[in-house]
Chains A and B, each alone.
Chain A
Amino acid sequence: MSLTTRRSRLAASALAAITALGGLAACGNDDEPVAGEKPSKLIVDTFGEFGYEELIKQYEKDTGIKIELRKTAQLGEYRPKLVRYLATGKGAGDVVALEEGILNEFKSNPRNWVDLAPLVDDHSEDYLPWKWELGKAPDGRLMGLPTDVGSLAVCYRKDLFEAAGLPTDRDAVSALWPDWDSFLETGRAYKEGSGGKALIDSITAVSDASLFQQGDDLFYDKENNIIADTSPAVKAAWDTAISMVDISAKAATWSPEWSTGFKRGSFAATFCPSWMLGIVAENSGEANKGKWDVAAVPGGGGNWGGSWLAVPAQSSYHEEAAKLAEFLTSATSQVEAFKAKGPLPTHLEALQDEVFLSYTNEYFSDAPTGKIFGASVSKIEPIHLGPKHQAVKENAFGLALRAFENGQASEDEAWQQFTKDAQTQGAF
């Protein structure tokens, strides 16, 4: 044990010395990649589960380049690591996965990233258009190739719906709420039928869903000025969320009220990005297996989360890294990754794939989740998210809505809080 640690420490210091030398050598040509030299190894950084294990083995066999996959379990631990790599200019992998919020934030310093467009084939028509557009930095460079998508559906409790006199079949339920007005009507009907119970967990879940459906500039305009107080799309999502306060259980996502709410049936429906299915199942427990089902989201389509693959400028092998990213985001790779770990494809061909479309989820009454989620993402129009979209959405928009929902602020006060905080959270 002590021998191995000593040896690895030795190796680490040797490595540090080599990197220092490399840094000196690199001084002359700035951050230009080493040209014409085949890399001995490429490093891929991901968080959570991307399902790349088998794909990487295949790529190693095809190209002879060794690839190391560095996985970080939690996004919360992954982000600070990335920030450290970028702040110090070393340590990042050659290909790194960027989650939606991180990608937008990192866009304000596009120089940290390689423009992939000249290094890979033209894929501009291959992916969901909005997903492709979001991968571009404000200066026009292609920062990321699309991997997966959050895609949105509604998870609902069949038993509670039945008890309240509502239909339980997933197609009939989807037909209940083609838009948000009819969703509110359904909520009222549920409340009446169940003796005053809430249909949804919180109004912030509604705002998250409806923001993405607006197909317009949200908190920022195209020049990345904050337009939170004047943007019609933001106001529309705000109004939709506010209108739902009567049918909400006031249990903010991730709060203890929320996780117990699943077991207690405090709410009969929640908005489910594809990755949320596992969390719903875990919170609800074995006892509620088969009681949940999945229906379409009101307003047609939605997204929450999803990632891109990017190549940091500090990588020594821009071209090879870009080729690897291109391989990992291809249609066949996306289907393989989906089969392995379940991230939803964004490649148009992969979305048509038979394996994907026929996928069902056992916990959720064998709902054809592949088909439902695939349909949901295809309906989204391209939108523009500014650099600090995530911070504005969560810490200004979401918290103001929560203050209103908790009864801490009137609608006007909450709106004031939002527009004020949008300025501070969104400044960059």
Chain B
Amino acid sequence: MSHSTTAAPPTPTAPPPPGDTPKRWRLSLARLDLRYSPYLYIAPFFLVFGIFGLYPMLRTAWMSLHDWDLIGDRTFIGLDNYTRLLSDEYFWNALINTFGIFALSTVPQLLLALFLANLLNRTLLRAKTFFRMAIFIPNVVSVAAVAIVFGMLYQREYGLVNWLLGFVGIDQIDWDGQTWSSWTAIASMVNWRWTGYNTLILLAGMQAIPRDLYEAAEIDGAGQWRQFWRITLPLLRPTFIFVVILSTIGGMQLFTEPLLFANGNIIGGAQREFQTLAMYMYEMGITNLNSAGYGAAVAWALFMVIGLMSLLNFVLVRRAAK
């Protein structure tokens, strides 16, 4: 209290008080500023995160411990929802589907993105900006439009894909009627949409690699391929980890593409061939009004799966790079 009274700014007419009080005051203010204002600057984010991120998460956790009817009663049942989850055939089915589609989309996608980024990084390439922009365009297209167009391409009787396959003698494929074919079709939508995005991030990572390393390698007689393996890949590691984790999170949460591929049916195929975890969560938590608590448990299971996968990715990519 006494500090604040002494710290009051002196009026300009008053003679400077003895000693160096204003200087000290300014110094302590600067120190305060240095120490606390960064927290103030990032506070809005945490505030928003707290309201729209943390609170719903905790609320979902709370819901998952209940037998919760969205428009009716709720009773506390402890961990029963989670034990039920472990023996729920459809939960495991959704988990397998999610991983299957994830594998079919992420692996080829990242390999292709790496290849394209390396091409775009070449100094000799003409019209670079054009190619870099063009490759990003699929990502800007609305996901619903993508799903509808791909749904038409993969039609059984009049679809373009089956028509083309007909030329090489392959019979009509019922794309949404089998597990492997539906996974492939959905993965192709994801790949089309996200390859360009990942390419750009990888490209940015590549451009951060100092040019002189390549020049030195060239003088030493290393070819393009060798430069890629020995310089680009190792130095790209942090970017690559980032891209892999992003794709993992996206892949685990896959929802709109399979939902629209099923013409809006949340079950995902006549026998749940391509119902993802996010779809199962929605089915239990929102479509079925009276199993909202169970849906919340599925949501938390999904959260844990994503956490585990990200960790695993991180460890694997790091070790592989060593």
User: Which A positions have Cβ atoms within 8 angstroms of B?
Assistant: 76, 80, 83, 86-87, 105-106, 108-109, 112, 250, 252, 254-257, 260-261, 264, 266, 388, 391, 394-395, 399-400, 402-403, 406-409, 417, 424-425, 427-428
User: Is B132 located at the chain interface by the 8 A CB criterion?
Assistant: no
Residues of chain A within 8 A (CB-CB) of B90 are: 424
Known: A105-B289, A257-B157. A395 touches B263 (CB 8 A): no
Distance in Å from the Cβ of A328 to the closest Cβ of chain B?
24
- Known interface pairs A80-B286, A257-B156, A260-B155. Does A395 touch B265 (Cβ–Cβ under 8 Å)? yes
Cα distance A255–B154 in the bound complex, in angstroms: 11
Closest to A264 in B: B158
Closest residue on chain A to residue B179 by CB atoms: A408
- By the criterion CB–CB under 8 Å, are A256 and B151 in contact? yes
**Chain A residue with minimal CB distance to B283?**
A395
B152 lies within 8 A of chain A by Cβ: yes
On whether the beta carbons of B158 and A260 are closer than 8 Å, the reply is yes
A257 to B270, CA, bound (A): 15
A83 CB contact (under 8 Å) in B71, B152, B158, B177: B71
Residue of B at shortest CB range from A250? Answer: B156
- Classify the interface of chain B: helix, strand, loop or mixed: loop
User: B residues within 8 Å of A by Cβ?
Assistant: 69-72, 90, 151-152, 155-159, 174, 176-178, 263-267, 270-271, 286-291
| Bound: A407/B151 CA distance, A | 21
Closest to A111 in B: B72
Decide: B267 and A399 in contact? CB cutoff 8 A: yes
Q: Is the CB of A406 within 8 A of B286?
A: no
**Can you name 22 A-B residue pairings with CB atoms under 8 Å?**
A80-B286, A83-B71, A83-B289, A86-B70, A86-B71, A87-B70, A87-B71, A106-B71, A108-B72, A252-B263, A257-B158, A260-B157, A260-B158, A261-B157, A391-B288, A395-B266, A399-B267, A399-B271, A406-B270, A407-B177, A408-B178, A427-B291
Residues in chain B near residue A406, CB distance under 8 A? 174, 177, 270
Neighbouring B residues of A408 by C-beta, 8 Å? 177-178, 270-271
Known contacts A108-B72, A395-B266; can you find 12 more A-B pairs with CB under 8 A?
A76-B264, A83-B289, A86-B71, A87-B71, A105-B289, A108-B290, A109-B69, A109-B71, A254-B264, A394-B265, A402-B270, A403-B270
How far apart are A254's CB and chain B's nearest CB, in angstroms? Answer: 5
- Residues B71 and A255 in contact, CB atoms below 8 Å apart: no
State how many angstroms separate the Cβ of B296 from the closest Cβ of chain A: 13
**How many Å lie between the Cα of A407 and that of B270 in the bound state?**
11
Q: Which of B69, B157, B177, B263 contacts A254 (CB 8 A)?
A: B263
Specify which of B157, B264, B271, B290 is in contact with A403 (CB 8 Å cutoff).
B271
Q: Which 7 A-B pairs give the minimum distances between C-beta atoms?
A: A403-B270, A86-B71, A109-B72, A402-B270, A406-B177, A399-B270, A254-B263
- Report A424 CB to chain B, min CB distance, Å: 8
In the bound complex, residues from chain B placing their C-beta under 8 Å from that of A417 are 271
A109 and B72 CA atoms in complex are apart in Å by 6
Within the complex, the shortest CB–CB distance from A331 to chain B, in Å, comes to 32
Residues A255 and B177 in contact in the complex (CB < 8 Å), given A83-B71, A109-B71: no
Please judge, given known A-B contacts A408-B271, A417-B271, whether A256 and B155 are in contact too, CB under 8 Å: yes
Q: How far is the CB of B226 from chain A (nearest CB, A)?
A: 48
Residues in chain A near residue B151, CB distance under 8 A: 256
User: With contacts A391-B288, A406-B177, A428-B290 known, is A255 near B69, CB below 8 A?
Assistant: no
Complex: A391 Cα to B155 Cα, angstroms:
26
> Closest residue of chain A to B156, judged by CB?
A257
Residues of chain B with a CB closer than 8 A to A395's CB: 265-267
- Look across to chain B and name the residue whose beta carbon is closest to the beta carbon of A261: B157
